[in-house]
């Protein structure tokens, strides 16, 4: 049906370009980026003895000393030097939540060097509502030259406290040098509004969804794409995995209080931002994931939850598993009764490519071994997981087994046989095909054969984590990628009676877990790639529903106005209309932020009586050009 038609794709691109002209009023073929050059919030080249005042070492036990050095520099004659480190995590940290706003996307740039070959990490640390610290790696660079960290996106949410970004080096003994550090607000890039919504195009067949992480909520453009194309199904990238949901302090406190170590305590603190978003926007959620060898801490499997405790018995682990699943379902029902969890991945990735269970081991070993197999001796834990999920999941919620390389013969047979057994017992509803593919492998035929095989079980099939990598980033590479996307969608459409959803694992290339091989259908400028056009090529394009937001009533006449200041666009009422206000407007349009009636009036910056995307475009022009006025022209 959809053999890739380059002519159509080029026509699509041209019409999008025309649309951009209309939306942004700028004669370019790409959306105009709001220039954030004036919005640098902190920058230093560590010259003249200055610049280190915003950096500190990472707590009392960090032995390092921060100075300015003229030994080496990326530019100018000096840099910040962090010496006397004694642990790999020692390094300079930069605090975010004192001076910067939650829910706003920022860009950090710096050049960082170690004395000799080492891995340099840019990471983030924060403390959650329960007081637990969290650490996450943002970007790693290996080498001994100046590692470039350029325009790296960072953001945090209001429930995160003591939020720092920091540099660390895998070698504990090397000094770390940092130069040309810059921190600025991310530009807001308008998305292409006039391309069809992927969800709408596929609505006759199945749901189209995506996976997002809490940090994506801070990017208005990213969320615009989610709203337009992927609002039928949402998977949380990490926030509902056992390591995010298990609350170790509460588990230990529960043991202390009751002597019972079979009732794991859980929290939704990591997932709250995403749950709020899905609740407020009515987006159905695919719960991901309950039982997995990965991203599940070892202590969950140990006596008294002690890191160095003995493995618990199989009987105790069955109790823990039941209580974990029960507690997860209950806390969601209690805190988010209106969020529609229409699916759960009950077990993730239990079968190997040779059709056998994983090796016994632990997540901390980092070798793919499984603590579940360590305790059960085999894959018999799978059936318990489905029994408990069936017992506690909300009515109507479908239960899936989910795996990758799901098209490889022996693995496919193992999944198929397991699925039939579970189906016989009424425990499973569907099979999740992760579909992390590459342009070189598998072939479209192999993938389609796997869809057919899983569909033949009579169970539901979902493509749950689709992404297709390409190392060749030329036009030819993108075309190949587009072809495989098209073929995968063809297979899904062919088996649409069995396939209920296709979920793409992320939205823009730069935020993908496989970013270096640009696997997604939107690029880092939020622009649809050839893969997007190949997915809709040959399908009926429905009329787009009206996406405008509430109409503004007549401007209040009784509002006292300072004649010297124009209130239009000044949505944080700080006396100026700038990028921060533009972000607020985007969040308002995304329904992520509410405004008072008065501010809604002033959000109507093109004074046409309603607040919608045209106001965003007008605001952008105002920021980029001298001759644009916000609000009614006098
Ligand atoms: C697997 C998991 C996902 C995610 C990806 C990598 O496919 O199921 O949750 O961790 O790996 O991002």
- 530 with 556, same domain: the answer is no
Q: How far is CA 500 from the centre of its chain?
A: 22
pLDDT at 580 (0 to 100): 75
Please check whether residue 13 lies inside any domain of the structure: yes
Mean residue pLDDT across the chain: 89
Question: 465 catalytic, yes or no?
Answer: yes
pLDDT score recorded for residue 563: 41
Ordered strands of the 161-169 beta sheet: 55-57, 92-95, 161-169, 118-127, 133-143
**Nearby residues of 52 by Cβ (< 8 Å), 6 or more positions away:** 46, 66, 67, 68, 80
The reply to whether 128 and 175 lie within a common domain is yes
Q: Look at residue 470 and tell me if it is in a domain.
A: yes
Band the pLDDT of 6: cuts 50, 70, 90: very low
- Cβ pair 487, 444 in contact under 8 A: yes
Residue 29: predicted pLDDT: 27
Beta-carbon contacts of residue 470 (< 8 Å; ≥ 6 apart): 438, 439, 477, 478, 480, 481, 517, 518, 519
Is 53 in the active site? no
Any idea what the CATH number is for the domain that residue 612 is in? 1.10.1330.10
pLDDT, average across residues 308-315: 98
Residue 624 pLDDT = 62
- When mean pLDDT is compared across 198-207, 336-345, 431-440, 603-612, the lowest value belongs to 603-612
Q: Which residues constitute the domain of residue 122? A: 38-185
Binned at pLDDT 50, 70 and 90, residue 566 comes out as confident
Exposure of 106 in the CB half-sphere (CA atoms within 13 A): 23
pLDDT at residue 608 is higher than 90: no
The tokens describing 236, both together, are: 């949380």
pTM, whole model, 2 decimals? 0.77
Residues whose CB falls within 8 Å of the CB of residue 164, separated by 6 or more in sequence, listed in order: 58, 93, 94, 95, 96, 124, 125, 126
Any domain includes 315: no
Confidence of residue 545 (pLDDT cuts 50, 70, 90): low
What confidence category does residue 625 fall into, taking pLDDT thresholds of 50, 70 and 90?
Answer: low
**Nearest C-alpha to atom 12 of ligand 1 is from which residue?**
513
pLDDT, tens digit (0-9, with 9 covering 90-100), for 370-397 = 999 999 999 999 999 999 999 999 999 9
Among candidate residues 158, 185, 212, the one where a domain is terminated: 185
Same domain assignment for residues 340 and 446: yes
Model pLDDT, residue 565: 72
User: Does residue 166 have a pLDDT over 80?
Assistant: yes
Is 581 part of a structural domain of the chain? yes
pLDDT given at position 633: 76
Token readout for 5 is: 């038609």
Q: What is the pLDDT of residue 139?
A: 92
CA of residue 441 to ligand 1 center, whole Å: 18
pLDDT, tens digit, 9 for 90 and up, residues 104-128:
999 999 999 999 999 999 999 999 8
The string of pLDDT tens digits covering residues 255-278 is 999 999 999 999 998 999 999 999
Q: Which pLDDT band holds residue 583 (cuts at 50, 70, 90)?
A: confident
Q: Select, from the ranges 157-171, 435-449, 589-603, the one with the highest average predicted confidence (pLDDT).
A: 435-449
**166, 93 contact by CB (below 8 A):** yes
State percent of the chain over pLDDT 90: 76
* d(C-alpha 6, C-alpha 155), whole Å: 38
Asked if residue 127 belongs to a domain, the reply is yes
Q: What is the CA radius of gyration of the chain?
A: 26
Query: What CATH number corresponds to the domain at position 430?
Result: 3.20.20.80
Mean pLDDT of 432-438: 98
Residues 341 and 484 in one domain: yes
- Read off the pLDDT band of 14 (50, 70, 90): very low
Q: Mean of the pLDDT values across residues 437-458?
A: 98
Q: Give yes or no: residues 443 and 482 share one domain.
A: yes
Query: Do residues 441 and 457 share a domain?
Result: yes
Query: How many degrees, rounded to 5, is the angle at CA 158 between CA 156 and CA 162?
Result: 70
Question: How many domains in the chain?
Answer: 3
Pocket perturbation via mutation, ligand 1, pick of 136, 213, 346, 505 by most ligand atoms within 8 A of CB? 505
Report pLDDT for 620.
74
475 and 420, same structural domain?
Answer: yes
DSSP letter at 472 equals -
Question: Quick one: 516 and 624 in the same domain?
Answer: no
Which one of 514, 536, 558 terminates a domain?
Answer: 536
Catalytic residue among 168, 227, 406, 465: 465
Question: Both 343 and 435 in a single domain?
Answer: yes
Measured in angstroms, how far is the CA atom of residue 332 from the centroid of ligand 1?
22
- Give the per-residue pLDDT at 374: 98
Residue 557 and residue 499 in one domain: no
**What lines the ligand 1 site, CB under 6 Å?**
288, 348, 404, 434, 436, 465, 513
Pair (120, 148) in one structural domain: yes
Say if 486 falls within a structural domain: yes
**Is residue 193 included in any domain, yes or no?**
no
Residue 222 domain-assigned (yes or no): yes
* Sign of the C-alpha dihedral computed for residues 583, 585, 588 and 594 taken in this order: positive
The CATH code of the domain that includes 65 is 2.60.120.260
Residue 489 pLDDT greater than 90, yes or no: yes
Q: Respond yes or no on whether the N-terminal peptide bond of residue 289 is cis (omega within 30° of 0).
A: yes
Same-domain status, 118 and 165: yes
């Amino acid at each position: 049906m959809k053999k890739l038609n380059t002519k159509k794709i080029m026509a699509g691109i041209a019409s999008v370009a025309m649309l951009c002209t209309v939306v942004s009023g700028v004669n370019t073929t790409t959306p105009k980026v709001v220039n954030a050059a004036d919005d640098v919030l902190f920058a230093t080249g560590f010259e003249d003895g200055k610049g280190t005042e915003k950096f500190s070492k990472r707590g009392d036990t960090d032995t390092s000393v921060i100075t300015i050095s003229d030994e080496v520099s990326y530019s100018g004659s000096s840099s910040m030097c962090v010496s006397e480190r004694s642990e790999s995590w020692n390094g300079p940290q930069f605090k975010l939540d004192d001076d910067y706003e939650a829910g706003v996307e920022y860009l950090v740039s710096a050049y960082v060097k170690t004395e000799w070959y080492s891995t340099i990490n840019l990471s983030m640390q924060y403390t959650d509502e329960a007081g637990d610290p969290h650490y996450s790696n943002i970007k790693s660079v290996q080498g001994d030259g100046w590692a470039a960290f350029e325009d790296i996106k960072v953001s945090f949410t209001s429930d995160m406290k003591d939020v720092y970004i920091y540099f660390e080096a895998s070698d504990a003994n090397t000094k770390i040098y940092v130069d040309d550090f810059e921190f600025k607000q991310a530009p807001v890039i308008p998305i292409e509004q006039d391309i069809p919504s992927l969800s709408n195009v596929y609505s006759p067949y199945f749901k189209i969804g995506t996976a997002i992480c809490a940090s994506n909520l801070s990017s208005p453009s990213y969320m615009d794409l989610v709203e337009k194309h992927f609002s039928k199904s949402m998977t949380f990238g990490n926030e509902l995995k056992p390591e995010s949901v298990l609350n170790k302090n509460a588990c230990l406190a529960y043991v202390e209080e009751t002597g019972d170590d079979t009732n794991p305590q859980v929290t939704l603190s990591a997932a709250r931002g995403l749950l709020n978003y899905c609740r407020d926007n009515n987006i159905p959620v695919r719960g991901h994931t309950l039982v997995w060898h990965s991203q599940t801490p070892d202590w969950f499997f140990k006596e008294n939850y002690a890191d160095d405790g003995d493995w618990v018995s199989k009987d105790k682990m069955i109790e823990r598993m039941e209580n974990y699943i029960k507690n997860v379902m209950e806390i969601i029902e209690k805190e988010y009764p209106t969020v529609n969890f229409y699916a759960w991945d009950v077990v993730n990735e239990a079968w190997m490519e040779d059709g056998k269970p994983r090796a016994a081991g632990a997540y901390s070993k980092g070798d793919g071994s499984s603590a579940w197999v360590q305790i059960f001796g085999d894959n018999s834990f799978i059936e318990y997981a489905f029994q408990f999920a069936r017992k506690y999941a909300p009515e109507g919620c479908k239960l899936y087994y989910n795996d990758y390389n799901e098209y490889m013969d022996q693995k496919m047979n193992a999944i198929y046989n397991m699925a039939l057994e579970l189906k016989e017992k009424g425990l499973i509803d569907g099979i999740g095909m992760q579909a992390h593919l590459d342009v070189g492998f598998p072939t479209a035929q192999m993938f389609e054969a796997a869809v057919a095989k899983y569909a033949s079980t009579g169970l539901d099939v979902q493509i749950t984590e689709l992404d297709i990598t390409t190392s060749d980033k030329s036009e030819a590479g993108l075309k190949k990628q587009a072809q495989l996307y098209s073929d995968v969608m063809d297979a899904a459409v062919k088996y649409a009676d069995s396939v209920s959803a296709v979920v793409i694992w992320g939205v823009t290339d730069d935020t993908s877990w496989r970013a270096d091989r640009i696997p997604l259908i939107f690029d880092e400028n939020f622009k649809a790639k050839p893969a997007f056009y190949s997915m809709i090529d040959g399908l009926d394009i429905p009329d787009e529903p009206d996406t405008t937001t509430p109409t503004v009533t007549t401007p209040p006449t009784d509002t006292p106005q300072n004649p010297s200041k124009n209130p239009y666009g000044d949505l944080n009422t700080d006396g100026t209309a700038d990028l921060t206000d533009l972000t607020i407007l985007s969040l308002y349009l995304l329904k992520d932020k509410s405004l008072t009636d008065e501010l809604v009036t002033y959000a109507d910056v093109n004074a046409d009586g309603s607040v919608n995307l045209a106001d965003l475009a007008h605001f952008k022009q105002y920021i980029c050009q001298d001759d644009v006025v916000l609000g009614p022209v006098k």
